[in-house]
Amino acid sequence: MNEIVPPEIQLGAITIRAGMSRMEDGTFGDSQFHPSAVIRIDDRLDPSSAAMTMIHELLHVISDTWHLDLTERQVCCLEQAISMVMYQNPRLMPSLQNAIRRTTMAQDPFVGSNPADGPSDPSRRS
Ligand SMILES: [Zn+2]
């Protein structure tokens, strides 16, 4: 197992199979949603590039799951922006993760929600 690419990633009720494998030259990673969700990351990437590629491929799966129809450019911009925030604010992600974990343990806002239907809490929709 690789700490950047776990064998499975849970997105609501969707289990994304993930792994590192040798990709075609010039391809950092790829993903598919149908018939099952899969993310592959090139096994030659350094940890930083592998992490950013994982964010990129997750965004593709999220876009497919919620029918967002994000363009490649939008996925690339979001990948860069999310990576930048994570890099420049190293205490932010653990703090957000702890807060979400405490919330989900207390209220279970995601249990029973179908990721394809969007957020389960209407107050979070805009
Ligand atoms: Zn892409």
CA of 80 to the centre of ligand 1 (A): 12
- Where residue 1 falls among pLDDT bands split at 50, 70, 90? very low
pLDDT at residue 101, as a whole number:
87
The residues that bridge with 32 in the sheet, in sequence order, are 38
CA of 9 to the centre of ligand 1 (A): 18
What is the average per-residue pLDDT within 44-73?
96
pLDDT at residue 104, as a whole number:
67
pLDDT at residue 109, as a whole number:
56
What is the average per-residue pLDDT within 14-40?
94
Please tell me the distance from the alpha carbon of residue 39 to that of residue 19, in angstroms, as a whole number: 7
Q: Classify residue 45: in a domain, yes or no.
A: yes
Q: Classify residue 117: in a domain, yes or no.
A: no
CA of 30 to the centre of ligand 1 (A): 7
Q: Classify residue 122: in a domain, yes or no.
A: no
Q: Classify residue 125: in a domain, yes or no.
A: no
CA of 56 to the centre of ligand 1 (A): 6
- Residue range(s) defining the domain that contains residue 91: 8-107
- Where residue 11 falls among pLDDT bands split at 50, 70, 90? very high
Q: Classify residue 116: in a domain, yes or no.
A: no
Q: Which residue has the higher pLDDT, 87 or 5?
A: 87
CA of 107 to the centre of ligand 1 (A): 34
CA of 57 to the centre of ligand 1 (A): 6
Q: Classify residue 123: in a domain, yes or no.
A: no
Number of structural domains the chain divides into: 1
pLDDT at residue 114, as a whole number:
54
- Where residue 50 falls among pLDDT bands split at 50, 70, 90? very high
Please tell me the distance from the alpha carbon of residue 78 to that of residue 52, in angstroms, as a whole number: 10
Q: What are phi and psi of 20, to 5 degrees?
A: -105, 135
Q: Classify residue 118: in a domain, yes or no.
A: no
Q: Classify residue 1: in a domain, yes or no.
A: no
What is the average per-residue pLDDT within 56-81?
97
